């Protein structure tokens, strides 16, 4: 009898959890997941603020115009985020935008996995700007809030979907060991194919690169976003 009741109880709990997970998250719920207690202390000055329009070189003006053709403004100007910093080298900006547009908007990886890789990378680099943008986007794309919370804490999420777990293990192993074992590689190959593996690697590498730029230049979180990704303890 007790075994039957326990099973029924577990069924009710799982059913309720599944029903809750199927409901779209509200903005308040997303903010609760993505905004964590921050470290105390004054904000560090932005080392590469927006370049005034009157100070742009001809190459920079051309790069801004090309950027605006493919990306919408986020409220802070025609160039935003790490692209503000990359504008110091217009050629680097142009090349970066081309790759970034493909990976974020046209990759064969499903949107949830794209965003999962972005938030995983943002957490590895404690990159607040990137986290503030992509954690909410990941939840809207279907990432479980508990998975996002675990990533924010620096923990391996306990209940990932199969594709998420394969990506997590692949990138975590690569980061820790600078290589990937045959067993881990074969799982990724079976799930994503060779093209998918390259796109997982490209996505992780690209957002690692942007995180390095943002961290080095101390790029601030946008005024319409909430910070909340404290550094890992050392």
Could you state, in order of their start, the residue ranges of all structural domains in the chain?
57-106, 109-227
Higher pLDDT, 138 or 32: 138
Position 7 confidence tier, pLDDT thresholds 50, 70, 90:
very low
For residue 53, is pLDDT > 60? yes
Q: Is this model's pTM higher than 0.85 or not?
A: no
CA 89, CA 59: separation in Å to the nearest integer? 9
Question: What's the confidence (pLDDT) of residue 221?
Answer: 84
Q: Who wins on pLDDT, 217 or 3?
A: 217
Span 33-53, average pLDDT: 76
Cα separation, 14 vs 33, whole angstroms: 21
Average pLDDT for the chain: 86
Whether the CA torsion 84, 40, 123, 27 is positive or negative: it is: negative
pLDDT at 9 > cutoff 70:
no
Nearest residue to 88 via CA among 33, 50, 45: 50
pLDDT exceeds cutoff 50 at 2: no
For residue 202, the SS3 value is helix
Q: How far is CA 94 from CA 51, 63, 86, 103, in A?
A: 17, 6, 9, 15
Of the two residues 140 and 36, the one the predictor is more confident about is 140
197: left (phi over 0), alpha (psi -120 to 50) or beta: alpha
Q: Which residues contact 116 (CB under 8 A, 6 or more apart)?
A: 138, 143, 147, 164, 167
Task: Please determine, for residue 219, whether its predicted confidence score (pLDDT) is greater than 80.
Answer: yes
- Rounded Cα distance between 1 and 40, Å, is 54
Q: Residue 104 pLDDT more than 70?
A: yes
Tell me: domain 109-227, CATH 1.20.1290.10, correct? Answer: yes
Question: What whole-number distance in Å separates Cα of residue 126 and Cα of residue 58?
Answer: 35
Give the separation between CA 234 and CA 232, rounded to whole angstroms.
Answer: 6
CA angle (105 as vertex; 103, 106 as ends), nearest 5: 70
Of the candidates 208, 196, 201, the residue with the CA atom closest to the CA atom of residue 121: 208
**How many Å apart are CA 109 and CA 97, to the nearest integer?**
18
**Cβ atoms of 200 and 112 closer than 8 Å:** no
pLDDT of residue 216: 96
Task: Give Cβ neighbours of residue 149 (< 8 Å, ≥ 6 apart).
Answer: 33
């Amino acid at each position: 009898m007790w075994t039957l009741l326990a099973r029924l109880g577990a069924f009710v709990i799982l059913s309720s959890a599944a029903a809750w997970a199927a409901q779209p998250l509200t903005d308040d719920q997303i903010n609760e997941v993505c905004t964590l207690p921050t470290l105390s202390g004054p904000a560090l000055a932005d080392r590469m603020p927006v370049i005034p329009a009157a100070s742009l070189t001809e190459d920079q003006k051309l790069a801004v115009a090309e950027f605006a053709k493919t990306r919408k403004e986020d409220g802070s100007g025609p160039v935003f985020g790490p692209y503000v910093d990359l504008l110091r080298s217009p050629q680097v900006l142009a090349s970066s935008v081309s790759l970034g547009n493909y990976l974020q908007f046209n990759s064969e990886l499903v949107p949830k996995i794209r965003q999962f890789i972005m938030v995983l990378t943002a957490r590895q680099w404690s990159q607040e700007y990137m986290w503030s943008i992509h954690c909410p986007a990941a939840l809207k794309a279907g990432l479980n809030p508990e998975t996002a919370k675990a990533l924010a804490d620096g923990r391996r999420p306990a209940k990932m979907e199969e594709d998420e777990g394969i990506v997590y293990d692949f990138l975590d192993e690569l980061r820790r060991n600078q290589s990937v074992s045959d067993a881990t590689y074969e799982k990724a190959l079976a799930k994503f194919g060779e093209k998918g593996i390259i796109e997982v690697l490209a996505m992780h590498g690209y957002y690692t690169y942007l995180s390095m730029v943002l961290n080095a230049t101390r790029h601030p979180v946008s005024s319409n976003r909430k910070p909340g990704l404290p550094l890992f303890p050392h």
